[in-house]
Amino acid sequence: MADNPKKQGRDRELVSTQEHEVAYLMRTAKVTRQKALEAIREAGPNRDKVMAYLAKAK
């Protein structure tokens, strides 16, 4: 993942376990840190798949 969280392009399609990305998932999906990390682990690095996983888990 890029060191710059404001980077545009393909990097925005991916999500990692970096703190700022986990915090973003927690804030946008309104889930706990544990759920966000579980979603990344289960759905992979694709942001759309992670969001779909979190939506299905609710």
Residue at 42 is within a domain: yes
Mean pLDDT by 10 residues, the chain (58 residues): 64 88 95 96 95 90
Residue at 48 is within a domain: yes
pTM of the model: 0.79
Query: Which residue segment(s) compose the domain that 37 sits in?
Result: 13-57
Distance CA 13, CA 46 (A): 6
* 3-class secondary-structure state, position 42: helix
Residue at 6 is within a domain: no
Residue at 46 is within a domain: yes
Domain count, the chain: 1
Residue at 45 is within a domain: yes
Residue at 26 is within a domain: yes
Angle, helices 33-43 vs 47-57, to 10°: value is 120
